[in-house]
Structure 1
C-alpha cells in the first residue's frame, strides 16, 4: 500500500438497539459454535449486566464458560489467564462483554487461542499470523468503541507501558451495541467514558490520517456527545434517548479512529494510565483541551468545525482561530458539567514523572496521527499545563 492509499476496516456486522442482546442466541446458531467463553470483569458480573446475555445463550440450548478476571488496563498476565480459560473450557467463540478493558482482553486472548508465544510478541500492526476464533463483542459502557476496532491495548506487567496490537483479524465477527447494558454504570463512569468518546472523535477528526468517511462519523459523534452526555450522566440510566445516542456516538467514534488514528491525547494518557493507574477515560478527559490548544495553530478550520458541532456561536465571519478557542472552551465546560477534574494534579499522577512520561509518549503509536509535530519537550509542556490548569492563550 503506497502513501497515497488509505485503509479503513470495520466489523462486517453490527447489531444496534435497546435490548439487542436478546438476539445473541440466533447469531450463535449462525456461527455454528457450541460453547462460548465470556470474558468480562467481576463488576459487570456482580451487577447483573450479564444476565440477559446468559438468558439468550441458555435459551439457545448452549453451555458457556465465564472468565471474570479482567482488570482495568489489562496486563499481559491477565490476557494469558484469559487464554488459559479459553483452552480449559474447550470453547469455540470469544464473547467479550464489558468496557474497553474486557473487550481488549478478549481480543488479545483470542490471538493466543490460535497462535503460540507471548502476547507482547504480536505488538505492532499486522503481526498475527493465524486468524483467531470467532468473536462477539458487547460493550457495557459508551466509551472506548473497542467493539468496532481492530486494535487491542495490553500493559506490559514489567514496564507498565501500554503496548498496541493491531490486526484486521481482531475485528469482531459481530458487534452487539445494546444501550440498555450501559444504564447501570455509575455517573462518574458515564462521565469519563463519555469524554473518552469525545476524545476519540476529536482526535480522529484532526488526525493527519483522517478520511472523508471517518471525519463524517467523527463530527456526528462530537455533536451527539455535546448534546447527550450531560443527560446520560445526570439521569443515571433513566434517559433512554441519551443512553442510545451516546452508545451510537461511541461506536461511530470507534470506527472513526479505527481508520484515522488518534493523537497526542492518547499518546500521553496511555503513559499516565499505565504508570499511575489513572482510568483511561479520565486521563483523556483531562488532557483533551490542553492538547487541542496545542494543535489549534495547525488545524484552526477543523477546530472551528468542532466548535460548531459543540453548539458554539460561530459563523463564516468568525475567524478560525477565535472559533477554535471556543472549541477548547466548550470542551472544558462540558468536562466541568459532568464533574471531570480540571487537572492531572487531582489524580494519582505525579508531576515529577513528567519527563519520563513525555519520553515514553514519543514512542506511542497514537502520536503518529497528531496534526502538529511534537517532541518530548512539547509533550512535557502539555503535561505541565495539565497539572497546573494553565492555558497559553485562554
Structure 2
C-alpha cells in the first residue's frame, strides 16, 4: 500500500526585507513584462503606500496601470471588474498590492485573464486549466500571508458565501515582503491582522494535514507573534524589529497553511465575515481561543507546544490536556493586550444567525484540516460561546 503523499507549494521567488519594494521594477523587468497592472484599494492609495512602488516602476521605465477598485471581502462582481480593466489596459503582468482582499482580487482576476467563464466556476482545488499571467504580490499588512499561497477567497454576491479557489497557477512568480509598507496601518488593523497570522499558524500546526516543514514554520510564527505583536501594534516609527518579525511571521504562517490547511476558525470566520462584513482578522481573533479549547482534547500535546511558543511556563511532566489550556489562556491574553474585542457580540455579527452560519461552515473547505471532527451542533456551540465570551477552563 502506498503511503499518503505530502504536497506543498511555494512562490517561484521571494524577496524579503526593509525597503524591498525599491527593487520591484527591476524584478518585473526580469520577468519580461512591459505593462504591469496594479490591483489595490483606495486606502492604500490615500496612505501613500504605493509611492515607493510608483518610484521603482517608473525608474525601470515601465508603463503601468493602477486599478483601485478593491473592496473588503471581494465579490465576484469586483473580480470581474478588475479582470475587465486588466484586459482593457493591455497589461502583461498583474501586481496585487495591499491586504488579503487586494491579493485575492488580483489572483482571481488573473484566472479570468486566460480562462473563460464566471470566476465562481473555478471554486475548489485544481480547477484552473490554463496558466495565469505572470504575477507579483506585495502585502501591506502583516496578516494574510496570501502573497506566498495559491488560494483566493471570493464572495458570491448572490449568496454572501465565501468560495475558495485554490490552484498552483495562482502562486506568485515573485512575492515581495517589505515590512516598511506595514508601518502606516492603524493600530487596530495591525492588531487584527497580527492575530490573523497567529490563527493561520495555530491552525496549520494542529491540522491533520500538517507536515514537518509546515509545522516548523508555524511554530516559529507563533513564537514571533507572541513576542512582537504588541510592539508592532504600538509602532511609532522606531521599532523596525517588531514590524520585520511580524512580516516574517505572516509570510511563514502563509507558507505553513498553504501546505497544511486550516481549520474550524476559518470555516466559521468566512461565514461571519461574508454575512455581516466583520473584518476577517478580527473574527479569527475572537473565535480562535474557543476553537482551540474545542480541539484541545484531540491534540493536547500540540497545544502544549503552542503554549510554550507563546512564552508560557509549561510542565511537560503534567497531563497535556491540563497544560494545553495555557495555550488558550495565552491567546486570550494576547488578544486583550492588543485590544481585540472579547466577544462576537461586540461586532456587527448577529447571534440569531449562529445556526445558519454553522450549517454553512460545514461546507467550507478550511474545515477539512481541523483535528477534531465537527458537526453543525458543535460549530453552533463554538459560535454561542464566542458571543457569550465563555471559555470553560480558562481564568481571565
TM range (shorter): over 0.9
- Secondary structure in 1 aligned to 2:324? helix
Normalised by the length of structure 1, the TM-score is 0.99
Rounded to whole Å, the distance in 2 between the matches of 1:186 and 1:238 is 16
Partner of residue 150, structure 2? 150
Q: Say whether 1:373 aligns with 2:356.
A: no
- 1:35-74 correspondence to structure 2 within 5 Å: 35-74=35-74
User: Against the structure 1 CA distance between its residues 71 and 299, is the aligned structure 2 distance closer, same or farther, given a 3 Å change threshold?
Assistant: same
Rounded to whole Å, the distance in 2 between the matches of 1:130 and 1:66 is 25
Rounded to whole Å, the distance in 1 between the matches of 2:6 and 2:356 is 33
Rounded to whole Å, the distance in 2 between the matches of 1:348 and 1:3 is 46
Partner of residue 330, structure 1? 330
Q: Say whether 1:215 aligns with 2:221.
A: no
Q: Which runs of 4+ in 1 moved over 4 A?
A: none
Rounded to whole Å, the distance in 2 between the matches of 1:234 and 1:26 is 34
How far off its partner does 1:229 sit? 0.1
Rounded to whole Å, the distance in 1 between the matches of 2:205 and 2:337 is 23
Rounded to whole Å, the distance in 1 between the matches of 2:37 and 2:3 is 40
User: Against the structure 1 CA distance between its residues 328 and 67, is the aligned structure 2 distance closer, same or farther, given a 3 Å change threshold?
Assistant: same
How far off its partner does 1:319 sit? 2.2
Partner of residue 342, structure 1? 342
Partner of residue 384, structure 2? 384
Asked whether the equivalents of residues 196 and 281 of structure 2 are also in contact (C-alpha less than 8 Å), the reply is yes
- Secondary structure in 2 aligned to 1:106? helix
Rounded to whole Å, the distance in 2 between the matches of 1:144 and 1:277 is 17
Structure 2: gaps of 5 or more residues: none
Rounded to whole Å, the distance in 1 between the matches of 2:99 and 2:216 is 25
Asked whether the equivalents of residues 207 and 263 of structure 1 are also in contact (C-alpha less than 8 Å), the reply is yes
Q: Say whether 1:29 aligns with 2:21.
A: no
Partner of residue 257, structure 1? 257
- Secondary structure in 2 aligned to 1:138? strand
Which 10-residue stretch deviates more, 289-298 or 315-324? Answer: 315-324
Structure 1: gaps of 5 or more residues: none
Taking only aligned residues, the RMSD between alpha carbons, in angstroms, comes to 1.0
Asked whether the equivalents of residues 224 and 249 of structure 1 are also in contact (C-alpha less than 8 Å), the reply is yes
Partner of residue 164, structure 1? 164
| Residues matched between the structures, number | 394
User: Against the structure 1 CA distance between its residues 165 and 377, is the aligned structure 2 distance closer, same or farther, given a 3 Å change threshold?
Assistant: same
Rounded to whole Å, the distance in 2 between the matches of 1:306 and 1:155 is 32
How far off its partner does 1:392 sit? 2.3
User: Against the structure 1 CA distance between its residues 310 and 78, is the aligned structure 2 distance closer, same or farther, given a 3 Å change threshold?
Assistant: same
Asked whether the equivalents of residues 37 and 91 of structure 2 are also in contact (C-alpha less than 8 Å), the reply is yes
Q: What's the CA shift string for 1:184-229, capped at 9, x where partnerless? A: 0000000000000000000000000000000000000000000000
